[in-house]
A and B are shown apart, each in its own frame.
Chain A
């Protein structure tokens, strides 16, 4: 028990941040799992974060309601983004979403009435560990159900080969639009969770750094299964902290090197269901090969 408490004292905030980052990673996964690379999650998070912070700060809304509203706000924002971006070819969509991240910060800086501008906003409430855990569990459950649903099947088909999927009656546009909506809701919730964890947010909170942590987490964990996003967020949040304990100063360098190594040597991420299937097939072949060799003797 004592060791558990010690662990919590030392790494409690790392665990909390890993959980918050999980929302962003899942939001990026939601669109990536239909073949869309988008950084727009950061914009959805900003909408959710500032909305929730203002609702709690100015109007005294209870925290859970503010989080729900943040999800709604993120979802609305994502509908607009999807309508504008989904007609673009995939490279261009990635670029457009990156531009959206830049614009989000400029807009936030120039709307001090809503965001506090350069001075940022103090968020008067803090999300408890239990609340955060429940929130993440609910979101994870939704992803779990989705992955074993018609939507999940269609999403995989659209990602692997949109043309073939469309000749089977699946509309890639519709699936990717839905993916954006999911991404927006989860991103908005994540933005609120971040606001209620940091208790201070500013336009810098929702910027490039968040975009890269998020994409890195999703790719590191594996973008072919939703669990990968959770694992990736955990590793990518814990890695700099542990690095700092061993060799301070170079934690960022270590982060970059980790990204490089993973992409080069493990391009499909830590969690990769396809690799398991391939391994199983290879084992089966080996067994079958062994059996045929054994036959002449038996």
Chain B
């Protein structure tokens, strides 16, 4: 029972990372209509920036996280303005932006390789809360609690932003129809920049926390998150952050239990099979509202 509960929390924490990463990916797809293959790079780079903030500059842990998050958001804006902005109003559709984002993926990944000296770095144990916390008799790594709280805060925050504020209404309008939104007085440029920043920042947060939790700061960090975060978004449904959060957590829990009770080699297979099943059978995901099947 003890093991079961600990593993559940373990899975929720892992899933929270996937969800945190996926929220921004889904937001960009729903609002800007872009499948961003470079989304994983934001996480890698945020982790790298966070690492050097701690290791070289000696900043305290919360400030290092903030530095990583801002770096993720800033890179996302740069990528958007260079790779996606020139293609808007040109009708190259999904394909054009997908190709340019692949271009940036290659660039950012190989630069990240240089930044880490082609190896995997780890945050020094003294630089973050590496101990255990006792909750109701369970001993849980403090970092897992930080990750779960981070997801909860971001999901609720972004959900409220989209549903309850004027900016959120503008974001929904742009996602629905950019042309009529701009005719209706929505500042679509503002919406684009904000969406890109939010996506980069949440991806960056997932990157820093994931880099700490898995002791892996390198370009492979973003790739790993990308595959799982993508699955969380598809299973949860693209147009609702709550769906992504729940689906991400479920995937994390499933992965941990499959690895614990079945076999480690099946872990990824189950995630990707779920992904494919949802894409083919229920493309709008568990919680999505729109229909994505052909009439």
Contact = CB atoms under 8 A, between A and B. Distances in A.
Chains A and B directly touch (beta carbon < 8 Å): yes
Interface of A: 37, 84-85, 87-92, 94-96, 98-100, 102-103, 106-107, 109-110, 212, 215-216, 219, 249-250, 252-253, 255-260, 263-264, 267
B265 A110 contact: yes
B279 A103 contact: no
A89 B294 contact: yes
Contact of B102 (A91, A109, A259): A259
B99 A263 contact: yes
27 contacts: A85-B280, A87-B293, A90-B94, A91-B94, A92-B292, A95-B230, A95-B279, A96-B276, A99-B276, A103-B276, A107-B269, A110-B265, A215-B98, A215-B99, A219-B95, A219-B99, A252-B110, A253-B110, A255-B106, A256-B103, A256-B105, A256-B106, A256-B107, A257-B107, A260-B103, A263-B100, A267-B96
Contacts of A263: 87, 92, 96, 99-100, 103
Interface in B265-287: 265-266, 268-269, 272-273, 275-276, 279-280, 283
A219 to B, nearest CB: 5
A154 B103 CA distance: 32
Interface residues of B, number: 42
Contact of B92 (A106, A215, A250, A267): A267
A252 B106 contact: yes
B272 A99 contact: yes
Contacts of A99: 230-231, 234, 272, 275-276, 279
A103 B111 CA distance: 28
Contacts, number: 119
B167 interface: no
Interface SS majority for chain A:
helix
Main secondary structure of the interface of B (DSSP, over half): helix
A92 B102 contact: no
Q: With a 10 A CB-CB cut-off, give which of B94, B106, B266, B269 has the most chain A CB atoms.
A: B106
Given A219-B95, A267-B92, A256 B110 contact: yes
Contacts of A107: 269
A216 B92 CA distance: 15
A109 B265 contact: yes
Contacts of A100: 276
Most buried by A among B87, B95, B234: B95
Query: Nearest 5 CB-CB pairs, A to B?
Result: A259-B103, A256-B107, A256-B106, A252-B110, A96-B279
Contacts of A85: 280
B234 A250 contact: no
A219 B95 CA distance: 9
B21 interface: no
A224 B52 CA distance: 47
A255 B103 CA distance: 7
Given A109-B265, A212-B106, A256-B107, 10 more contacts: A89-B283, A96-B276, A99-B272, A99-B279, A102-B268, A107-B269, A215-B98, A252-B109, A260-B104, A263-B99
A84 B265 CA distance: 26
Nearest to B85: A264
Contacts of A96: 276, 279-280, 283
Contacts of B94: 37, 90-91, 94
Contacts of A249: 114
A120 to B, nearest CB: 16
Contact of B110 (A102, A109, A250, A267): A250
Contacts of B100: 259-260, 263-264
A96 B275 CA distance: 8
Given A256-B107, A259-B102, A88 B95 contact: no
Contacts of A212: 102, 105-106
A259 B292 contact: no
A95 B185 CA distance: 33
A54 to B, nearest CB: 21
Among the interface residues B108, B234, B273, B294, which one has the most CB atoms of the partner chain A within 10 A?
Answer: B294
A240 to B, nearest CB: 10
A111 to B, nearest CB: 11
B227 interface: yes
